[in-house]
Homo-oligomer: A and B are copies of this chain.
Amino acid sequence: MSLQLTILGCHSATPRTFAHPTSQFLEINNRAFLIDCGEGTQVQLRKYKIKFSKIDNIFISHLHGDHFFGLIGLISTFGLLNRQNDLHIYGPKGIREIIELQLKLSNSYLQFDLVFHELESDESKLIYEDDKVEVHTIPLEHRVYTNGFLFKEKLGERKLNIEAVKENPEIEICDYQNLKNGKDFIAEDGTVIANDLLTFSPPKPISYAYCSDTVYKPEITSVIKEVDLLYHESTFLKDREELTGTTKHSTAEQAALIAQKANAGQLILGHYSSRYPDIKLFEKEAKTVFDNVSLAEPGKVFIITSKVSEELLLAHQN
């Protein structure tokens, strides 16, 4: 089980030659998701050699241009590339109308189905689920209706402790799946061998929380508690904290406070205001509150790999 997050763009407001608006490509537990899609995202995807065919689900946090103006272009390109698979779009109510109007007026007929999942709730909801991953909304507070997204691996199967299994000749290959599913083994004479003597716990599921754009909202920490990786916007530094009230953005310090309260494993900052030429200042400010801080930068890749839990590895070695 693993997570790989590629930053495609991480600056606020307007795109510039070397400042790309928000978009991220997430691979988690062999599933792929595009998160937000500012203008130029399709060019960034090509630049970082991310296959368009991997993208079946796109999550849009809110309808400010720096988070979705690249969506219609990407959809059109999928059409030109003769895509066949359904494309699922998760985003605020209204997103369907915007996309469908543009397709209609450009006389575009897609060969694939666009499936819209319009969001309206102010509570955290499960909006995507398959056998590997689930995605929940994180209700944020911004100038328009906005959600963050929490991506969580599902708990995998238990791993066979092959040595222990082999010591019990009665266990046959056809029993393995039951063991992986957590069932105890019952021998013909009725003896029960507890499952945890025959298997290891599955790797700890990894989770990623994407929180942009939002004012400081500590209530979200109940949703993202113990998240492994947290991206939280930090449009401003503390020196402009007075702007966060009207613009509904956060400072780097506030992002770090969220990471601290949620007991996150690692914090990534981004959505920097162009007022600040030196983004290192964001890291510095956040580190006064929370240790494990990184800066989002276009092309940067974050990887997290979960191992079988250490405790059980030791049991295996004994």
Q: Does A107 contact B (CB under 8 A)?
A: yes
Q: Does A15 contact B (CB under 8 A)?
A: yes
Residue-by-residue, is A69-106 near B (CB-CB < 8 Å gives 1, otherwise 0)? 11011001100110000000000101101100110011
Using CB atoms, name the residue of chain B closest to A62: B106
Contact A98 B105 (CB under 8 A): yes
Contact B65 A76 (CB under 8 A): yes
- Copies of chain A in the complex: 2
CA distance A17 to B8 in the complex (A): 13
Closest CB in chain B relative to A112 CB, distance in Å: 16
Which residues of chain B come closer than 8 Å to A13, judged between CB atoms? Answer: 77, 80
Which residues of chain B come closer than 8 Å to A80, judged between CB atoms? Answer: 13-14
> Which of B17, B102, B108, B143 contacts A98, CB < 8 Å?
B102
Which residues of chain B come closer than 8 Å to A14, judged between CB atoms? Answer: 42, 73, 76-77, 80-81
Contact A64 B16 (CB under 8 A): no
Which residues of chain B come closer than 8 Å to A64, judged between CB atoms? Answer: 106
Q: Does A144 contact B (CB under 8 A)?
A: yes
Closest CB in chain B relative to A202 CB, distance in Å: 41
Closest CB in chain B relative to A294 CB, distance in Å: 25
Q: Does A39 contact B (CB under 8 A)?
A: yes
Q: Does A43 contact B (CB under 8 A)?
A: yes
Which residues of chain B come closer than 8 Å to A81, judged between CB atoms? Answer: 14
CA distance A40 to B39 in the complex (A): 7
Closest CB in chain B relative to A67 CB, distance in Å: 9
Q: Does A275 contact B (CB under 8 A)?
A: no
Which residues of chain B come closer than 8 Å to A63, judged between CB atoms? Answer: 102, 105-106
Which residues of chain B come closer than 8 Å to A101, judged between CB atoms? Answer: 97-98, 101
CA distance A201 to B107 in the complex (A): 49
Q: Does A280 contact B (CB under 8 A)?
A: no
Q: Does A240 contact B (CB under 8 A)?
A: no
Closest CB in chain B relative to A215 CB, distance in Å: 15
